[in-house]
C-alpha cells in the first residue's frame, strides 16, 4: 500500500491554487472540473512530480468549518511538509506575507514551524529526516 | 484579585512549572506549540487534554493569560501574581499584607 494522495479542505480553490503554487512552490498536477464550480485540483512537489499528490478539496461540507475552527484555534496543523531548512523557509514565506502561528522551533533533531495557508488551514513545515 | 492559594497550587506541579518555563522563553504560544515543547523538548508523555487542564489551572491563578488573534488562541505568561508571593514575606513590617489563610 502507498500513500498516493492526501487532501486538505480549502475555502476557495482559486485562492488555494495561487497559494500552493505561487507562494509555496508546488506545481499543479491535475485540474479537472467535477461539477458546479468544484475541481479535482491536485499539486505535487517540483522535486517529486510523480510523488504524493495533495488534493485541494472544496470545503463545502457543513462539518468542515466546525472541525477546522476547533483545530486552528488550538494551533493544530492539518498537514506537514518537509523542507531542507525551516529557518530559511520561514524567512522566505514571511517575506511574502505568510502568517506564522509558531516560529521555527528546534526540538532535538527536528525543527518545525506552523503557518496559515490563507484557505482555512494551519500547515507545519519540518526539517526532512536525515 | 487572585487568591494566594491558587498561585501556590498552580506552582506545586512540575509540569505546570515547565509550561511556565517555556512561556518565559517565548510568550504567545498556541496549545499545539506548548504540547510540542513538552513532548519533544521535555519528553513528557502528556495528552493534549491534560495540557489543557494544566493551562486552565495556570489561567485561574492568573499566571497565564489567553488572547484571541483572528482564528488562533495564544497563551502568554503573566508574572504579576508572583509579586504577591515575594512581597508577602519580603516587605517591611509596616506594609505587611494580611494573612490570606488561617
CATH of the domain at B31: 1.10.10.10
CATH of the domain at A114: 3.10.180.10
Q: Please give the residue range of the domain that contains residue A100.
A: 5-127
**Domain count within chain B:** 1
CA separation for the pair B36, A19 (Å, rounded):
26
Task: Report the residue from A102, A107, A108 with minimal CB separation from B30.
Answer: A102
Q: What is the DSSP letter of B81?
A: T
In a domain, B60, yes or no: yes
Task: Report the residue from A101, A107, A110 with minimal CB separation from B30.
Answer: A101
CA separation for the pair B75, B27 (Å, rounded):
7
The answer to whether A37 faces chain B, any CB pair under 8 Å, is no
pLDDT digits over A16-29, tens only? 999 999 999 999 99
Decide if pLDDT at B96 tops 70: no
What was the ipTM of the complex prediction? 0.89
In a domain, B97, yes or no: no
Rounded to a whole number of angstroms, the CA Rg of chain B reads 15
- Output the nine-digit C-alpha cell for A86: 525551516
**Domain count within chain A:** 1
3-state SS of B66-89 is: EEEECCEEEEEECCCCHHHHHHHH
Mutate to test the interface with B, among A69, A101, A109 (most CBs of B within 10 A): A101
pLDDT digits over A93-123, tens only? 999 999 999 999 998 889 999 999 999 999 9
In a domain, B102, yes or no: no
Report the pLDDT value the prediction gives residue B1, as an integer from 0 to 100: 58
The answer to whether A73 faces chain B, any CB pair under 8 Å, is yes
pLDDT digits over B38-85, tens only? 998 898 989 999 999 999 999 999 999 999 999 999 999 999 999 888
Cβ proximity of A94 and A110 under 8 Å: no
In a domain, B12, yes or no: yes
pLDDT digits over A61-102, tens only? 999 999 999 999 999 999 999 999 999 999 999 999 999 999
Amino acid at each position: 500500500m502507498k500513500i498516493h494522495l492526501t487532501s486538505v479542505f480549502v475555502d476557495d480553490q482559486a485562492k488555494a491554487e495561487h497559494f500552493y503554487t505561487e507562494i509555496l512552490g508546488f506545481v499543479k498536477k491535475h485540474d479537472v472540473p467535477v461539477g458546479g464550480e468544484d475541481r479535482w485540483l491536485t499539486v505535487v512537489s517540483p522535486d517529486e512530480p510523480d510523488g504524493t499528490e495533495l488534493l485541494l478539496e472544496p470545503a463545502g461540507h457543513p462539518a468542515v468549518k466546525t472541525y477546522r475552527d476547533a483545530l486552528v484555534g488550538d494551533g493544530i496543523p492539518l498537514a506537514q511538509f518537509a523542507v531542507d531548512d525551516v529557518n530559511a523557509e520561514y524567512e522566505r514565506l514571511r517575506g511574502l506575507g505568510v502568517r506564522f502561528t509558531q516560529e521555527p522551533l528546534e526540538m532535538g533533531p527536528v525543527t518545525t514551524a506552523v503557518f496559515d495557508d490563507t484557505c482555512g488551514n494551519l500547515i507545519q513545515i519540518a526539517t526532512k529526516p536525515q | 484579585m487572585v487568591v494566594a492559594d491558587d498561585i501556590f497550587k498552580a506552582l506545586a506541579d512540575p509540569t505546570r512549572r515547565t509550561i511556565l518555563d517555556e512561556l518565559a522563553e517565548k510568550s504567545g504560544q498556541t496549545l499545539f506549540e506548548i504540547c510540542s515543547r513538552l513532548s519533544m523538548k521535555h519528553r513528557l508523555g502528556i495528552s493534549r487534554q491534560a495540557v489543557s487542564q494544566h493551562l486552565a489551572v495556570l489561567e485561574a491563578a492568573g499566571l497565564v493569560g489567553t488572547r484571541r488573534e483572528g482564528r488562533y488562541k495564544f497563551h502568554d505568561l503573566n508574572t504579576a501574581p508572583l509579586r504577591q508571593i515575594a512581597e508577602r514575606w519580603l516587605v517591611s513590617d509596616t506594609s505587611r499584607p494580611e494573612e490570606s489563610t488561617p
